[in-house]
Amino acid sequence: MSGSLARFPRGVDPKDLLTEQVREAVRQSGVNPVERPETVRQLVADSLANHEDAVLAGSASPLVEAQAWADTLVDSMAGFGPLQKYLDDPDVEELWINAPSQVFVARKGRSELTTVILESSQVRDLVERMLKPSGRRVDLSSPFVDAMLPDGSRLHVVIPDITAQHWAVNIRKFVAHAHRLDDLVDLGSMTSSAAAFLDAAVRAGLNVIVSGATQAGKTTLLNCLLAAIPSAQLEGTGEIPLRRLVKEALRMRPDRLVVGEVRQEEALDLLIALNSGLPGMCSVHANSAREAVTKLCTLPLLAGENVSAGFVVPTVASSVDVVVHVARDQQGKRRVREIVALPGRAEGSVIEIADLFVDRPEGLTRAAGFPPHADRFAAAGIDVHALLAVDYEVAS
């Protein structure tokens, strides 16, 4: 485009003309702008260079805020328009649209109303563009949809008549500030002694459950735990029922079974797999470690009437070894609030829990409990009693 000077007629806004030139260049290139944003950015840069040559030749007027125009054009063609700057902002964790004139973002757990004002048609167009890579759709026959954006962000859309009037859109970004347990220590999310124990528990092959509320940091913590696995063969999830995925994973001779989040009856298959001796990890939505254990005793019952609490409760007690609970504090910071162990005993419908680390005013503090399976720690070359006893003596 920059090889020859374009003509810029007087009285025509050069931004409008350049925008049309770029759109035509994209059409002629045959590329998908969403999949190839770098191509769009290069075409916009070529267009600006072409215009600058025309300005020097006296056939065009200078552009005002040329770079802002260029960024906006790239966002509108290859990104998600006015929302793109928030998706690119590493401090923004979540974005949601309650109405075209009500676009919110969350930073460090705190929500704020943005200055973005959209039209209803813009919201629908943006949603269609977001859903296109996944092949999903939303309409009256499917009034709500979950999908994943190309950058890994999770998209949830609900339309009328499920909502009262406007399309509701939520985008939860995966903002990973930590990749290993040591990173969480550096961020102040847990103590070094708690991180050392969790690292040892993973290396020893214990079954670990991560619990927490929405946006508490469950996925980040789960990924940090995965990084502690000496050598992992992990089975993930996709757009097929999770129960089927768990069963298929077990046929692939995995070393570990990792499920992003257990929500429904697939908890039964997970428990059966963990009870077979296969080490595994998963996350569950809960407000405490005790509530997470209770939930794991309830979700398998959704699998059918032939599944009873008399089977599920002792299976949870013997299959789950450690529960790590994460939550946000009043400042919006994600922190590990408690780590508990399940010694493997249950009294009726109540499973015994031993506190390993508890949240106190001075922070996460070692409690008096010990995890099960000292033999597994020993097989991994870890003296778990020595690892935990030293910290307990200091704290007590």
CATH number at 165 reads: 3.30.450.90
- 1 within domain boundaries: no
Indicate if 273 and 325 belong to the same structural domain.
yes
Give the residue from 137, 172, 207 where a domain finishes.
Answer: 172
| pLDDT of amino acid 181 | 95
End-of-domain residue from the set 79, 114, 130 = 79
Cβ proximity of 260 and 219 under 8 Å: yes
> Which residue did the predictor score with more confidence, 239 or 306?
306
**Residue 328 pLDDT more than 80?**
yes
Confidence band (pLDDT; 50, 70, 90) for 250? Answer: low
Q: In the chain, what percentage of residues exceed pLDDT 70?
A: 89
pLDDT score of 232: 45
**Highest averaged pLDDT of the listed ranges 89-93, 108-112, 357-361:** 357-361
**More confidently predicted of 140 and 120:** 120
d(CA 88, CA 135): 23
Q: What is the mean pLDDT of residues 368-380?
A: 95
138 with 253, same domain?
Answer: no
Q: Are 326 and 335 contacting, i.e. CB atoms less than 8 angstroms apart? A: yes
Say if residue 349's pLDDT is above 70.
Answer: yes
Give pLDDT, residue 243.
Answer: 58
Instruction: Decide if 8 is inside a domain.
Output: no
Residue 25 lies in a domain: yes
> What's the pLDDT at 5?
39
211 Cβ contact partners less than 8 Å away, ≥ 6 residues apart: 218, 283, 284, 285, 286, 288, 289, 291, 292, 323, 324, 325, 326
Which of 23, 56, 79 finishes a domain? 79
Same domain, 350 and 370: yes
CATH code of the domain containing 350: 3.40.50.300
Residue 161 lies in a domain: yes
Judgement on whether residues 117 and 266 belong to the same structural domain of the protein: no
Q: Examine the domain organization and report whether 190 and 236 are in the same domain.
A: yes
- pLDDT in the model for residue 242: 55
pLDDT of residue 210: 97
Residue type, 232: A
Of the CA atoms within 13 Å of residue 228, those in its CB half-sphere come to 26
Same domain, 144 and 247: no
Instruction: Provide the percentage of residues in the chain whose pLDDT is more than 90.
Output: 43
4 pLDDT above the threshold of 50: no
Report whether pLDDT(393) > 60: no
Number of folded domains that form the chain? 3
Point out the least confidently predicted range of 82-86, 146-150, 236-240, 282-286.
Answer: 236-240
Contact criterion met (CB below 8 Å) for 219 and 364: no
Can you list the pairs that 68-73 forms with residues at least 24 positions away whose Cβ atoms lie under 8 Å?
69/15, 69/18, 70/44, 70/45, 73/19, 73/22, 73/44
Kindly report each contact of residues 185-194 with a partner whose C-beta sits within 8 Å and lies 24 or more positions away, as own/partner.
188/333, 188/335, 189/217, 189/221, 189/326, 189/333, 189/334, 189/335, 189/336, 190/335, 190/336, 190/364, 191/357, 191/363, 191/364, 193/357, 193/366, 193/391, 194/336, 194/339, 194/357, 194/364
Tell me: do 143 and 289 sit in the same domain: no
- Residue 288 covered by a domain: yes
- Same domain, yes or no, for 121 and 207? no
Q: Does residue 239 carry a pLDDT above 50?
A: no
pLDDT at 95 over 80: yes
Give the chain's mean pLDDT.
Answer: 85
Residue 320's pLDDT band, with cuts at 50, 70 and 90, is very high
Do 263 and 371 lie in one domain? The reply is yes
> What string of H, E and C letters represents the secondary structure of the chain?
CCCCCCCCCCCCCHHHHHHHHHHHHHHHHCCCCCCCHHHHHHHHHHHHHHHHHHHHCCCCCCCCCHHHHHHHHHHHHHCCHHHHHHHHCCCEEEEEEEECCEEEEEECCEEEECCCCCCHHHHHHHHHHHHHHHCCCCECCECEEEEECCCCCEEEEECCCCCCCCCEEEEECCCCCCCCHHHHHHCCCCCHHHHHHHHHHHHCCCCEEEEECCCCCHHHHHHHHHCCCCCCCCCCCCCCCHHHHHHHHHCCCCCCEEEEEECCCHHHHHHHHHHCCCCEEEEEECCCHHHHHHHHHHHHHHHCCCCCHHHHHHHHHHHCCEEEEEEECCCCCEEEEEEEECCCCEECCEECCEEEEEEECCEEEECCCCCCCHHHHHHCCCCHHHHHHHHHHHHC
**Does residue 255 share a domain with residue 188?**
yes
Domain-embedded: residue 88: yes
Q: Same structural domain for residues 143 and 284?
A: no
What pTM was estimated for this model as a whole? Answer: 0.70
Q: Is the same domain home to 262 and 349?
A: yes
| 19 or 320: which leads in pLDDT | 320
Please indicate, yes or no, if residue 7 is contained in any of the structural domains. no
* 321 vs 317: CA distance, rounded Å: 8
Whether residue 377 lies inside any domain: the answer is: yes
**Residues spanned by the domain of 33:** 14-79
Q: Is the pLDDT of residue 230 over 70?
A: yes
pLDDT at 392 over 60: no
